Structure 1
């Protein structure tokens, strides 16, 4: 028995010797040659993806693009942002207009398979909700029978809306508008009774676009699962790995208490996990095909997941979103990263 165990251990050691440097694929080669990542984003979703009057992009999903650039190039500013609409975003990724899509996109089976994409993780666990004017006197989505509902086409939102009303034996009249700014104007001008989208978008819209935010109510019902995350094309596994492990690194750093403020001090830690994460003990960068300081660069320049969340959408922002499902798994949430080892 002991001999078998020793033999198995020797085989594991032998197999580990075959691990080498990851080899770049066509997408990653093109990105490296260009010297920047082209990231598809949305526009005007405060807290998630928006640009100011000087063209500076900020938001939780923008921070994913910045973190990937920090991991790959050591510089979070090596990103070109390309605004995309709900209907045009997938074509932009398929046609290689963008390298990475990070814009309130729900991970579904058909998108992950039939469209030829790889979802690389979940930036934000979301769900579809409803917002109404308080003067409507509605307290629950079950009271929306016969309502006029503003919704974007080409989204899971549109499909979920129809399913929810059908399941609850209610009718509604859709007002279908693609442009997000136009749909908000339609809602706030009274063209529709209800605005439905991911709850994150409702919080953003109420905080940043409502004439008087306190005049609008987000109903308690969440009618769908909307795991939002970054997307790449099939065909370049190493590029997908870099995007995937960038997000995991941000979560893992939060779990170990590594922040943008203490990351330099953490380089001196005796914790073997922290030493591996920050590249003090080399090997993880080589396995991924990036610099050994890839996680250090992410955290120093962008921060861990919790920092990005609180800075963009947390309780100290106009959105005032609690961590909820997006808390770490150790604190009752769903954010959980495989180990960096």
Structure 2
């Protein structure tokens, strides 16, 4: 009898119904995916809550600058344009198959991280620098660098300045609550120079103060200074000084808790870079998908080794990114480069293997 009771108890242990309790719901698991290449193991894609929310609502909520020429600004028809805007559109193309399915949320510098932490946006794409404290202390992740920048100075050409070190004692416009404010203090302190800060709540206000000669020079990321100069009344009367006083790696930001969403953002950026490396463009990618024979291009365009499934995306996710938004060089050229008002050189943002090498490098997509 005792043996029978023990056997019954052991039988009921894994069956919660024996105690009158419902069996637990099984945890949903993403399907295993066989990666390309002989001997490669099967990988399992993680489930992204953010991707699920994006698909449920039908658009990506993207935090952007309220109005920074070259990076994010509404045009005369109210359509958002710019480098950071195109990164958002690339993400929509990757996740929803339609680059137009983005809701742009203009956010001030002081509110950008709180908006992301609170879940009001899915991604922040707003000329934001990766720093140690931001990455380690805010519960946020910077998946990839889209633009390598540095802080500089915009000054009237009439002053005849050859270096920022000649600005000792000058009034300098700087946006409050940004990395630029701290960089400025560090740089002048290290050199034993003095300056008078003129604080501004936004880049637009700093530009206005500079244009009305409330300050002698304006300091910010060099790309932002180029954007500001492009809309001044007499752009040719102002010069960006040669000094670069900081490193400012700019890129999209996401919540740290959703690592799978960070992967989606990261590899969307890398797809843009890899597209340029492979010589693809929005005009050529359709033909390339029909005729490509090299393994790298075929993997990127979803013709081999369904890598999109590892991100929870369709096989042609990267193809849609390049077809609808373009490769990195197209995004740069129309917003910041030769086809834009900013006329910025590629510089550090050239490919690693360009004739004048830069820092852009996409890890292997395989």
TM-score by structure 1 length? 0.93
Quote the Cα distance in structure 2 between the aligned partners of 1:45 and 1:314. 15
SS at match of 2:141: strand
Q: Any gaps of 5 or more consecutive residues in structure 1?
A: 1-11
SS at match of 1:292: coil
SS at match of 1:224: coil
Quote the Cα distance in structure 2 between the aligned partners of 1:230 and 1:78. 18
SS at match of 1:195: strand
Q: 1:295: how far off? A: 0.7
Give the structure 2 partner of residue 260 of structure 1: 282
Q: 1:288: how far off? A: 1.5
Give the structure 1 partner of residue 271 of structure 2: 249
Cα distance change of structure 1 residues 15 and 305 upon mapping to structure 2, 3 Å threshold: closer
Cα distance change of structure 1 residues 277 and 13 upon mapping to structure 2, 3 Å threshold: closer
Q: Any gaps of 5 or more consecutive residues in structure 2?
A: 1-36
Contact 1:28 1:236 in 2 (8 A): no
Contact 1:152 1:177 in 2 (8 A): yes
Quote the Cα distance in structure 1 between the aligned partners of 2:262 and 2:236. 42
Root-mean-square deviation (Å): 1.3
Alignment match of 2:241 (pick from 191, 201, 219): 219
Give the structure 1 partner of residue 365 of structure 2: 340
After superposition, the C-alpha distances for 1:87-124 in whole angstroms (9 at most, x for unaligned) are: 11111111111110001100011111101111011110
Tell me how many residue pairs correspond in the alignment.
327
Give the structure 1 partner of residue 134 of structure 2: 111
Give the structure 2 partner of residue 305 of structure 1: 328
Quote the Cα distance in structure 1 between the aligned partners of 2:233 and 2:318. 42
Alignment match of 2:87 (pick from 64, 72, 79): 64
Q: 1:337: how far off? A: 0.5
Give the structure 1 partner of residue 337 of structure 2: 314
Q: 1:15: how far off? A: 6.8
Alignment match of 2:308 (pick from 282, 285, 293): 285
1:87 aligns with 2:103: no
Give the structure 2 partner of residue 4 of structure 1: none
Cα distance change of structure 1 residues 189 and 233 upon mapping to structure 2, 3 Å threshold: same
Quote the Cα distance in structure 1 between the aligned partners of 2:212 and 2:185. 23
The within-5 A match list for 1:36-51 is: 36-51=59-74
The within-5 A match list for 1:1-341 is: 16-17=41-42, 19-20=43-44, 22-208=45-231, 210-267=232-289, 268-331=291-354, 332-341=357-366
SS at match of 1:113: helix
- Larger Rg over CA atoms: 2
Contact 2:51 2:95 in 1 (8 A): no
Question: Which has the larger displacement, 224-233 or 279-288?
Answer: 279-288
TM-score by structure 2 length? 0.87
Q: 1:26: how far off? A: 2.4
After superposition, the C-alpha distances for 1:119-174 in whole angstroms (9 at most, x for unaligned) are: 01111000000011122232210100000010111111000000011011111111
Poorly superposed stretches of 4+, deviation over 6 Å:
12-15
